[in-house]
Amino acid sequence: MNETTKDILVHTEAGVSSIRLHRLERKNAVTAAMYAAMADALDAARDDAQVRVLMFHGDTTVFSAGNDIGDFLQQPPASQDAHVFRFLHALATFPKPLIAAVCGPAVGIGTTLLLHCDLVYAGENAVFSMPFVNLGLCPEAASSLLVPQLMGYHRAAEALLLGEPFTAGTALELGLVNRVLAPAECLGVAQAQARKLAAKPLASLIETKRLMKSGQAAQVLAAMAQEASSFGRLLREPAAREALSAFMQKRQPDFSAVP
């Protein structure tokens, strides 16, 4: 089965459904329409008994530059029904194995969605960053909960308070990725692992994942709800307006007069 939208390509074969971010001219920056398409693909894969595994990937040169700021400003997430929040909820509650193949920049959601994947394979050129504070905003996708759990508090503070990027090697050391590979090999290895999982009993895969995540499932959804509330409030404040305007105008933001 194949489904195609302009910037998200969905292909399903032999029990594996793949979501490809396909907007290279904008470095796979994610729009509201792309969030909607990915949420729909997750919902369809969850309900399709023939799908046993879902995989995210981009290109060998870039995974995602994060939110498309221009589109974001035109269609800010005003409620929990916004496409981005629908996608995040579908991602966090997806019961089947999730795999990602990540090469090049993985900014914002490009990194935080990986926290919900079960297996992550990175190219040597992968660079991860979560620069929410730099945009006058706060973490999303339950990253305020999951990043400290993964990295420890102080390394999480570097990643989330300073927004400092980190390499594939560091991601491997932290446990965010399973393996670091040559960019040309990354997708093939992830696909091979997906096929291995797809050959296993679906009920056992689902139950094993549920048991591993049962201790934090409610915490993740609670963190997402709290982040969404804070995100919406910060989006209306002067710091975010200055940061986002500066981004669109390709200048450095000036927070000197911002509380």
For every one of its 259 residues, what pLDDT tens digit does the chain have, with 9 covering 90 and above? 444 578 999 999 999 999 999 999 999 999 999 999 999 999 999 999 999 999 999 999 999 999 999 988 888 887 777 899 999 999 999 999 999 999 999 999 999 999 999 999 999 999 999 999 999 999 999 999 999 999 999 999 999 999 999 999 999 999 999 999 999 999 999 999 999 999 999 999 999 999 999 999 999 999 999 999 999 899 999 999 999 999 999 999 999 888 7
Predicted pLDDT at 183: 98
Residue 58: per-residue pLDDT: 98
Q: Which residues contact 185 (CB under 8 A, 6 or more apart)?
A: none
pLDDT score of 28: 98
- Count of structural domains, the chain: 1
Q: What pLDDT sits at residue 1?
A: 40
Half-sphere exposure of 234 (CA within 13 A, CB side): 20
Note whether residue 147 is domain-resident: yes
Task: Examine residue 133 and state whether it is found in any structural domain, yes or no.
Answer: yes
9: which strand partners?
4, 20
Residue 12 located in a structural domain: yes
CATH assignment at residue 73: 3.90.226.10
- Tell me the angle at which helices 217-235 and 143-151 cross, rounded to the nearest 10 degrees: 120
**Residue 62 near residue 28 (C-beta atoms within 8 A):** yes
User: Inter-axis angle of helices 83-92 and 32-47, to 10 degrees?
Assistant: 30
Please tell me the predicted confidence (pLDDT) of residue 142: 98
Specify whether the CB–CB gap between 141 and 173 falls below 8 A: no
Q: Tell me how far apart the alpha carbons of residues 86 and 38 are, in angstroms, rounded to a whole number.
A: 9
According to the model, what pLDDT value does residue 2 have? Answer: 43
Does the pTM surpass 0.85? The reply is yes
CA torsion sign, 157 to 162 to 168 to 169?
negative
Residue 221 lies in a domain: no
Position 196 in a domain: no
Give the count of alpha carbons within 13 A of 8, CB side only.
Answer: 21
113 inside domain = yes
Q: Which value, to the nearest 10 degrees, does the dihedral of the CA atoms of residues 166, 171, 172, 176 take? A: 180
CA distance 60 to 46: 27
pLDDT of residue 259: 75
Q: Does the residue 127 lie in any domain?
A: yes
Sequence-separated (6 or more) residues with CB below 8 Å from residue 91: 42, 98, 113, 116, 141
Range of the domain at 104: 2-183+201-206
Note whether residue 241 is domain-resident.
Answer: no
CA distance 190 to 100: 7
Structure tokens of 192? Answer: 């091979």
